[in-house]
Chains A and B, each alone.
Chain A
Amino acid sequence: MGNQGRILAIGPTDNTSDQRTPRQRLRLIPEEARSSFVPVVPARYATTPHEWDMTRTAPDRPRADGVPIEVTGRVRTASGRPVAGALLEVWSANHYGRYRHIEDHSGLQLDENHLGLGRVLTDDEGCYRFWAISPGAYLARPDIGRWRPKHIHMSLSGGSSRLITQMYFPGEPNNATDPMAILMGDAFERNIGRPREVGTADVVQAFDFDIVVGGRNATFFE
């Protein structure tokens, strides 16, 4: 840890990254201002009981197309403390690589049984669980033929912990060429779900994805 702020890297061949990544070195926060940079998200979360099951749009609806998976994990701070009662917001594309988002103009196939939006809370041990459809990879940049590998977006907030990240899948052909993965380098491995034994007949694959919220943000109030 030097006494200079970081220079943020630009994702290779990524238009928005080029347009939006600050070019100046990040400034260091003076000691007297440090605590003011640690938002504390109030516990005012909205979830509905079935949102943990993203494989269908409602309990009485059929399963969406594709491979149903279970994702479980534990959320901790870098010092190992479980992050309990945090909100995990999850979004992912359907089996065909399409988001049910009004701004997804890819034209890929929608699935009437797939919403791809879910919210769960971590329990007292920081553990979470949800079901999803294994998302399709999608062609993010048709102009240069670049695909985004299969991934599930996750936003975590609770207390002073805050993280937006993505879970990737092991052995995917597009992992190596993904601009965000390239920026992560060897640390990309931490963002790959670990396959594990499936414990229920209701899903076909299961993954563990433990999340560690790093940096001062998570630890300032510990």
Chain B
Amino acid sequence: MTDPASNLLPATNEDTCGPYFPIFFADPGLEDLTKFDPGVVGQAAGTSLVLRGRVLDRHGELANGVVMEFWQANANGVYRTPATEGHADIDPWFHGYGRLRSATGAYEFRTILPGAAEGRAPNITITIFSDGINRVVTQMFFDNQPGNEADPLLLAVGDDAPKLIARHDGRTSSGAEVYVFDIVMAGDGETPFFDDLES
């Protein structure tokens, strides 16, 4: 994005979502991607997992009132986008977009283990909205996955790579593998965040 094309419309500024993102807008179907919709027969293919963690502030306190969004490929490593419409490896019972709002800053998200997209290790893109900040984005990986050591994003963050890797906590929960991933918004142990406007 080096061309400052002057014919582009100036974008509306993003703004903080503030402390009161409406719980009213919660959608249970977006908090558990293993089921296509609650009460509907239709199961996403792949290994079910529970992703648990905390969003922490600069003082190590839970960042309350956060909105988290998740974006991932299906078990075959294919993202459901306009570009993959009609792709043979699309899972009809998986769209890959999740959203939840956590009152405390601790979260639990149910999904399936993403497959590896071409040239990538399995990962989940996480977007965070909260009081005081505009949208920030990062990407999360899974420990002991083949491909982690060659993933271009993990290589790009160098020594900070371990901060982007969720660890299996050695347990299963109702048949789902449990992974733990904390996000540190600022300060010591800060999670690497990415600039999707400038890159």
Interface residue ranges, A against B (CB under 8 Å):
1-2, 4-6, 8, 11, 14-24, 26-30, 32-42, 44, 46, 76-80, 89, 91, 99, 101-104, 117, 119, 153, 155, 159-160, 162-166, 180, 184, 187-188, 190-191, 210-217, 221
Contacts and interface: CB of A to CB of B under 8 A. Distances in A.
A8 B134 CA distance: 9
A18 B125 contact: no
B199 A34 contact: yes
Given A44-B27, A164-B15, 16 more contacts: A5-B195, A6-B198, A15-B132, A16-B131, A16-B133, A21-B186, A26-B193, A27-B193, A33-B156, A36-B71, A79-B8, A91-B21, A164-B17, A188-B13, A214-B8, A217-B196
B97 A39 contact: yes
B190 interface: yes
22 contacts: A5-B194, A5-B195, A5-B199, A6-B198, A8-B133, A19-B63, A24-B190, A28-B194, A30-B152, A39-B71, A39-B125, A40-B97, A79-B9, A80-B9, A91-B22, A99-B20, A101-B20, A155-B25, A162-B127, A166-B15, A215-B11, A216-B199
B195 A29 contact: yes
Given A33-B120, A101-B20, A21 B199 contact: no
Nearest to A2: B198
Nearest to B72: A36
A11 B134 CA distance: 10
Given A17-B133, A39-B125, A165 B13 contact: yes
B82 A20 contact: no
B198 to A, nearest CB: 6
A184 B131 CA distance: 16
Contact of B156 (A27, A164, A214): A27
B18 to A, nearest CB: 6
Contacts of B181: none
Contacts of A26: 136, 193-195, 198
Interchain residue pairs A-B with the least CB separation, the first 10:
A214-B11, A16-B132, A5-B195, A17-B132, A39-B71, A26-B195, A28-B199, A19-B57, A101-B20, A215-B197
B185 interface: yes
Contacts of A19: 57-59, 61, 63, 132, 185-186
Interface in B33-67: 37, 57-59, 61, 63, 65
Q: Mostly helix, strand, loop or mixed at chain B's interface?
A: loop
A212 B11 contact: yes
Contacts of A32: 119-120, 152
Interface residues of B, number: 77
A27 B133 contact: no
Given A40-B80, A160-B81, A221-B82, A153 B197 contact: no
B23 A101 contact: yes
A188 B10 CA distance: 12
B195 A18 contact: no
B23 A1 contact: no
Interface in B103-156: 103, 117, 119-120, 123, 125, 127, 129-137, 139, 152-153, 155-156
B186 A119 contact: no
B195 A212 contact: no
A160 B193 CA distance: 20
A22 B186 contact: yes
Nearest to A14: B132
A99 B19 CA distance: 10
A164 to B, nearest CB: 5
B2 interface: yes
A8 B1 CA distance: 19
B87 to A, nearest CB: 13
A159 B82 contact: yes
Contacts of A160: 81-82
B170 to A, nearest CB: 28
